[in-house]
Structure 1
């Protein structure tokens, strides 16, 4: 304590005071650049750092030292992960986390300083030590633009890979700090019997695994997910209760502070070391030190110190959405605090409305990475739900955790919450989809927000800035109209096939097949691309891995027409009467603007859904594509094409051995004499049939892309430069 008192008199303390925000700003910029290099950001960083050096060289040196410490920590962790990754895995590991999934248990083992993730059919005791033997693999990168990058997720959770266990032997029972969280889970499972038990777990110990999936989706849809993350509200309630009890036993104030901090850290362990809890505990300690020692640090300084301390502990946290959202929301509320105050008799409502609007605007670019659908009614839902959660549900959840007999009362509150949340979630009139955009758009958006807040602070008019904000949101929402490329996407789905054909400036959008039922990747992909309208959906045949998501796509998008093969009654029955549809056969033609499609098959009913697939020769943006559905060699023999008729081939039946005969491939010129031709095999990265077959791969002598390895393939023609590119890095 003596050293802490003397700290405020040092030159270092006074130099950094009111400058911590600069450190945080530079940290964020550097981590953004590490994730994705951008020449404009690099130039800006160089100019800004040059300005800092000119302003204060000593401050600049201190900034470099702090940044170096964080980034050395960051890159050391990455190096150790890479060094410790061994495909042939044979090590001792300790169970630290276990989570029940639909079909098995997801288990995280601590192995040395790193972790591995695996799946087990049986429950493993937390803390148990096992001898693990198997094959270690890295998580998959994003399957399409804006898709979930499982490799990055595992890396920033300090998990070196996914272990496919061949042999697992129990050695002995060990200790893990996560056992406290596991014990609380078992306690709740034992004493709580109603449906509300999952919400009590979520609110008190941060375990949302048991929350009903449909309820979680409803909570996300109305924009109140943040209320189910353990935050300052939880810690403040807990701290107040602790201080109230300790005051009753007449402890001295400094002892009350010490006991409170100790109990809060115990709670941190009970929640399973949640970063949100750590952040709030550090914030509580900083506020306490600032008050007791009279440091006179501003709120901005304290939240910046908080963030720097958390990143000192683990710099990987900066890539976790919960970390980003909590800090960016706290920043905006602090710097806008003077704009939030009002003397109106409706102070609570007006302040809550301002906070909701500000929070939504500043978190919009981050939230759209998770879910592109933004419900603007969430501004009002938060005003309704925040007091309801704060004053009723959260205190009751803690009470039920201590006195389980009250569960029956809480269950009625839970059912009320569930019913109304589901009702609000189905109101989608103000839900707007924001697709993926480049980082320049995001920076322009934030600059506009900054100038709006600056003008409000100076009490100037914001009409022009407000119009600029509306224009950038309008541009963002309608980004497809500003796309000058013609593109064909062969989408990497878990199972099945889907191909998107889109012409420049949103003139025409065609989807061939929809992927397997139950996998909504195709929905998310289309929304991330800014697709709102599908002029035409073509279903090649009735198998569920080709037409499974048709009904869901019709629900989410403005579908103009659906075509299918004339023998496919199953697909026909899925199409609402309001949407035009037709069954196609050989020699039928479709023309949509500059897109030409000619049907080559079926010529008859083969009494087989695969052979009845639509085979389409498409003239797309100067290249000739052949889409083959799931036809077998029987149909391939009947297709009359020459070597000059096809430039790009969609390999039939996911690369099955029943298709892609050598004679057919030679007939259309996919042999060694035509290296510029391209074949694309859409095998599904979760397919259970080991597609593509080795014979198919051998038969194709041209360039072959397999989507489970190469991810989504985009063949793009730049309309301005008349240049073709093949893109498969997302």
Structure 2
């Protein structure tokens, strides 16, 4: 039946038209899903141009695109409606554990309830449940946290893309019963590794064989990521290829005819896919292997790129949200780039070293925008490292791992290989001169990057070395511009950051003229450091510390060690330990300021209004700054309390500003009636810290405020921007606009589906 259908399909006119053109259909689907998710104008324009091109080439392409887009749209709208009507609030009932993952703080569980999947955490002492356990639980279901600042990790969207509706804060939980489930096989194998092997051996085995992303400790995971070999510990085409090679050799030893290999290996691969809980990287390899066999057996004449694109389309039809998972993106991006570079690799097929080096560099270059999107750091030495690591893992470590899985008494031998492997990885991770830090890429940068990279590889593939040299120059120039993106920023910004604890305000003047940071947030949190890198900021002209509390100056030492700081500004009367620690890192160009002092930073003006004398309370020694920034006026108040507010009001009884940063996170000790009568302001900004444990801001403080209030704990980071054409800054509308575009697309599909 299948054979007859494939023969008929092969001789249809549409099939022949689509041969060597599947990449257009695939790209259309990817652009459509990206547009729905991001609302990017650049992606929308690319999709529009592609559809016009397809229509001009062959109307059948448009018809097929519309059918596939309708299928994807139906899936998206169905899930979106289910997601929007998901249950949030108090819950009491039964649930089944689908996944359990250990972390530094306890265990993370995914539980299936009657209305969807949810996530919850338990400390180790609160209980230890297994996959397949049915539990009775009581708690409150809430939405996960969104991104708290520009370029921040959107945990809510991350869970949504995994089809997890929210998280549960557990009040009570109890075991009911245990039932066998296929999803428990993976957990059982991991428990076997923990019981039968030493800690280091079990860690590597779980990561290498089972693809357990949580197997490595935090420091080791950082080392592996920095060296650029994390892909070796995500079950992918490399691993499955080794498995297939080993299975083929075993079948040859037992003299099984080659025509039966497919019927034996495919069910085994599917079994592995089931054990791995349908991990997307294995789905890709499984579909690829099946399509390869069908193409050979039924002579479908599909090219490698056709099969690859059909693979993408099939996987996206199964679940369109795979496109927004990093495992999918990196897996298909790297494999696709190697397929497109196959002719280039064939030219150096006999030169194994050069061919391997080209393969590693192509894989690295293909993944640069994705890696930069995630972490900003790209280690270009990883191409050289992988030249050694890939053969070692493929031909030594992975086969040995499979062997010791069945022969645990060889743990000593295995450990003698694993220990040097991890030691070398630790050593290589300390080599930093090959690491480049890229600012967060925009969609325009991503599109231009791949266009230029594609042009360079095309020239090399055709052997046009003069053109390749020019393309190489243009590509390097583009990378240089990207690395220095801050110099081309045409927008002035003031950002009141939404941090876990504490306060920080970042002021960015267009074209990298002036970068100023007021306070740094709580010690131990790197959000400010990450944001500076993602903006491409390498230099802080001024670091202003309002006072020395750890939630304001805790990260000052680390920031001064990682960035070039021109001038440190502190209160003249603050002698706290936080300020003394900061001074250890910056003795030169330090200003100790008091009321009446002022300074100019480029075209920005700062005037110190407080303190005029020392106070017994450290909070009252905070700097209070009046600032004129980009056509708006601001009052930064630190943590001053009623006593300092009264003194300030006596000296400035009719102060008028646009924005006031409410003192001490909105606590009852500040924002007195005297202060509110003395200062006339349009907007109040409260940076309370979304993980603060003091109940900031106090409800009574909020009642006092009769102007619009921006509480970062509720509304996330406040971003005020001024472009080249504007005279003053305005609150952000771009994010809301993108969300509206995405929503409109989904609403349009919902309307079409009701017709």
Question: Into which bin does the TM-score normalised by the smaller protein fall?
Answer: over 0.9
1:728 CA displacement:
7.2
2:374 is aligned with 1:370? yes
Q: Give the superposed CA RMSD.
A: 2.2
Q: What corresponds to 1:95 in structure 2?
A: 97
1:583 CA displacement:
3.3
Q: Distance in 2 between matches of 1:724 and 1:190?
A: 61
> Does 245-254 or 282-291 show the bigger shift?
245-254
1:318 CA displacement:
0.5
> Does 697-706 or 1-10 show the bigger shift?
1-10
Normalised by the length of structure 1, the TM-score is 0.94
Q: What corresponds to 1:592 in structure 2?
A: 601
1:301 CA displacement:
1.0
Q: Which one of the candidate residues 431, 439, 450 is aligned to 2:454? A: 450
2:537 is aligned with 1:531? yes
Q: Distance in 2 between matches of 1:77 and 1:129?
A: 25
> Does 10-19 or 612-621 show the bigger shift?
10-19
Q: What corresponds to 1:350 in structure 2?
A: 354
Q: What are the within-5 Å matches in structure 2 for residues 8-157 of structure 1?
A: 9-11=10-12, 12-112=14-114, 114-121=116-123, 122-157=127-162
2:304 is aligned with 1:299? yes
Q: Which one of the candidate residues 657, 660, 665 is aligned to 1:654? A: 665
Q: What corresponds to 1:674 in structure 2?
A: none
Whether the 8 Å contact between 1:311 and 1:318 is mirrored in structure 2 is yes
Q: Distance in 1 between matches of 2:655 and 2:631?
A: 13
Whether the 8 Å contact between 1:188 and 1:197 is mirrored in structure 2 is yes
Whether the 8 Å contact between 1:221 and 1:375 is mirrored in structure 2 is yes
Q: Distance in 2 between matches of 1:617 and 1:520?
A: 28
Larger helix proportion of the pair:
2
Whether the 8 Å contact between 1:360 and 1:379 is mirrored in structure 2 is yes
> Does 471-480 or 321-330 show the bigger shift?
471-480
Deviations 1:277-316 (A, max 9, x none): 1211111211222223332321101111111111121111
Aligned-partner SS, 2:200: coil
Q: What are the within-5 Å matches in structure 2 for residues 154-303 of structure 1?
A: 154-303=159-308
1:372 CA displacement:
0.7
2:687 is aligned with 1:669? no
Q: Distance in 2 between matches of 1:414 and 1:614?
A: 54
Whether the 8 Å contact between 1:714 and 1:728 is mirrored in structure 2 is no
Q: What corresponds to 1:568 in structure 2?
A: 575
Q: Distance in 1 between matches of 2:446 and 2:254?
A: 54
Aligned-partner SS, 2:472: helix
Q: Distance in 2 between matches of 1:356 and 1:240?
A: 22
Q: What corresponds to 1:484 in structure 2?
A: 490
Is the alpha carbon distance of 1:344 and 1:44 closer, same or farther for their aligned partners in structure 2, counting shifts above 3 Å?
closer
Normalised by the length of structure 2, the TM-score is 0.91
Deviations 1:182-227 (A, max 9, x none): 1011111111123232121100001121302111111112222212
Is the alpha carbon distance of 1:277 and 1:112 closer, same or farther for their aligned partners in structure 2, counting shifts above 3 Å?
farther
Aligned-partner SS, 2:94: strand
Whether the 8 Å contact between 2:43 and 2:443 is mirrored in structure 1 is no
Whether the 8 Å contact between 1:501 and 1:509 is mirrored in structure 2 is yes
Q: What are the within-5 Å matches in structure 2 for residues 285-684 of structure 1?
A: 285-343=290-348, 347-460=351-464, 461-566=467-572, 567-570=574-577, 571-574=579-582, 575-576=584-585, 580-639=589-648, 640-670=651-681, 677-684=682-689
Is the alpha carbon distance of 1:426 and 1:562 closer, same or farther for their aligned partners in structure 2, counting shifts above 3 Å?
farther
Q: What corresponds to 1:696 in structure 2?
A: 701
Q: Distance in 1 between matches of 2:340 and 2:529?
A: 38
> Does 448-457 or 371-380 show the bigger shift?
448-457
Q: Distance in 1 between matches of 2:358 and 2:248?
A: 32
Q: Distance in 1 between matches of 2:249 and 2:345?
A: 30
Is there any run of 5+ residues in structure 1 with no aligned partner, and where?
A: 671-676
Aligned-partner SS, 1:464: helix
> Does 562-571 or 349-358 show the bigger shift?
562-571
Whether the 8 Å contact between 1:516 and 1:546 is mirrored in structure 2 is yes
Is the alpha carbon distance of 1:208 and 1:439 closer, same or farther for their aligned partners in structure 2, counting shifts above 3 Å?
closer
> Does 490-499 or 581-590 show the bigger shift?
581-590
1:170 CA displacement:
3.4
Is the alpha carbon distance of 1:342 and 1:40 closer, same or farther for their aligned partners in structure 2, counting shifts above 3 Å?
closer
Deviations 1:476-501 (A, max 9, x none): 11121122222211111111111111
> Does 708-717 or 377-386 show the bigger shift?
377-386
> Does 23-32 or 54-63 show the bigger shift?
54-63
Q: Distance in 2 between matches of 1:5 and 1:51?
A: 29
Is the alpha carbon distance of 1:663 and 1:398 closer, same or farther for their aligned partners in structure 2, counting shifts above 3 Å?
same
Q: Distance in 2 between matches of 1:108 and 1:344?
A: 47
1:317 CA displacement:
0.3
Q: Distance in 1 between matches of 2:694 and 2:143?
A: 21
Deviations 1:324-356 (A, max 9, x none): 1111111111111111234586x2221122122
1:15 CA displacement:
3.6
Q: Distance in 2 between matches of 1:588 and 1:407?
A: 69
Would you identify which runs of 4 or more consecutive aligned residues in structure 1 move more than 4 Å? Answer: none
Is the alpha carbon distance of 1:517 and 1:33 closer, same or farther for their aligned partners in structure 2, counting shifts above 3 Å?
same
> Does 211-220 or 348-357 show the bigger shift?
348-357
Whether the 8 Å contact between 2:655 and 2:678 is mirrored in structure 1 is no
Q: Distance in 1 between matches of 2:661 and 2:733?
A: 16
Q: Distance in 1 between matches of 2:228 and 2:688?
A: 36
